[in-house]
Amino acid sequence: MGQGLFSLKQDIVEVGKRMYARGYVASNDGNISARLDDNKVLVTPTGISKGFMKPEDLVVINMEGKVLSGAKKPSSEILMHLQVYKDRPDVNSVCHTHPPYATGFAVAGIPLDKCVLPEVVITLGSIPLIEYGTPGTKELYQPVTKQIKDHDAFLLANHGALTVGNDVFNAYYKMETLEHFAQIAFIAHQLGYVNTLSKEQVQKLKDQREKYGIKTTANCVPGEDNSSQEIHKPQSNLMNDDLIKRISDEVLKQIRK
């Protein structure tokens, strides 16, 4: 990676503080790792808040998960990180957190796969929902392997979110983008409308992905009509509108008596 061990430790500690400050993790949740070389990975320890880590808390392990240096135990979810590195040689860092809005979509079983924000279409493409797996076991990372070659960000059903990148900050910034998108999508659904970009608009953005050297496909779902934006109105809002109308009609009846 061309970066010294201590410098890499400082980056992970800094990202841990940012994750904690933004509320992406609570207590001792979450984990961060970085590839050192073909056979070594630097990872956050288990049982320590990501907001209060020190460089000496981090652990170096090999690709089989054996501790090579460090006094603490590595994250219990390190198997997921190691599998990502094995499946994606271009990935040098993995970030796993539980950001509220993104995790809300994960718990609701709703992927963030619509083409909505240009910045998200370019940087992430789409964020698929990965089926649930028990944390700390093979069940957690096996479903990820099905989609890892095509995506850099994932919603983990009933669990949280996962992002990968070419360095520690790149993986973390993708987590910020994911959570920001999830928050905007949530607000748009509350307002009752989500405008989806057309196929023509999306293609122009995909051309920019290639320009920036982004090689993952991660195709989001565009609107059906190339000439206009598709508008979705959630069923919950339609039900609310109907309820409001019935209440209003009843109030008018009472006034007219």
Q: Where are the alpha helices (DSSP H) in the chain?
A: 5-21, 78-87, 100-108, 118-123, 138-145, 168-191, 199-211, 235-256
Other CB atoms within 10 Å distance of the CB of residue 197: 22
Radius of gyration for the alpha carbons in the chain, expressed in angstroms and rounded: 21
Q: Which contiguous run of DSSP H or E holds residue 231? A: strand 230-232
DSSP 14-30: HHHHHHHHTTS--TT--
CA distance 185 to 177: 12
- Active-site annotation holds for 230: no
Cβ burial 154-183 (10 Å sphere, 16+ → b, else e): bbbbebbbbbbbebbbbbbbbbbbbbbbbe
Q: Which residue is catalytic, options 14, 64, 77, 139?
A: 77
For the annotated catalytic residues, the residue numbers are: 77
